[in-house]
Amino acid sequence: MKKRTKLPLTLTIMAIVSVGMMASTVVAAPPSSGTPTPISTYYGTIVIGTTFTPSGTQYQTNLYIFSTAGPFYVEKVNMRVMAHLNYRLIFLDSIIYDGSVLTNPQCSQVTNPPPYTWGDIIAVTPSTLIDPSGARAIPAAGGVQFVLSYDSKCGSPNIFPSTLMLTFEATVLAPTAATVSMCVNEGPNPLTSCSAS
């Protein structure tokens, strides 16, 4: 009798472990926009994300984060590169906060060489502050634009190949009444909101 009880219990535990292992390999797409979850009366943290495939015709890829209320604080921007072929490095050229340009004199490398495909844009940003939650961040009133270049030190960028898939995920501290969004475009014409894309 005890042997019969042990077998179903063992199979159940193996099934749970198997499902847990399968679930850990699945990467869910982060939300593209939303309202922050309150962590206080006034501010909340939200994780937003988007995926973008370059057209293969432009030298510049721009990542935008907009908030309908501010100030807001971008604490982290993870970037992942997936490619059909070996890809080259991606650099942070400049940041535009509410229309003011902050160039990156170091032209910092965001991504690591394959197979280490993740990088954090905020980690290589030349100017940050400590936000109300105590995290290192960059502030903005309405929008931030990150200008990225491919396989160069930003002076003479190369065209982003269409064989890349870029995935971005950001952690943002914003007023709890705000709606925060993220979007990407190519080329020198900036967006003023994600709905304009």
Residue 125: closest CA among 111, 108, 100, 144: 108
Contact criterion met (CB below 8 Å) for 142 and 70 = yes
pLDDT of residue 28: 45
Taking CA atoms, 10 is separated from 3, 7, 16, 24, 56, in Å, by 11, 5, 10, 21, 53
When the candidates are 2.60.120, 1.10.10, 3.40.630, 2.40.30, the CATH number that belongs to 30-189 is 2.60.120
Note the pTM of the prediction, 2 decimals: 0.79
Give the Cα separation of 109 and 84 in Å (integer).
21
The predicted model gives 37-49 an average pLDDT of 85
pLDDT tens digits for range 108-153 = 888 877 666 788 999 988 888 999 889 999 999 999 999 998 877 6
DSSP string, 118-139: EEETGGG-S--EE-TTS-EEEE
**CA 8 to mean position of chain CA atoms:** 44
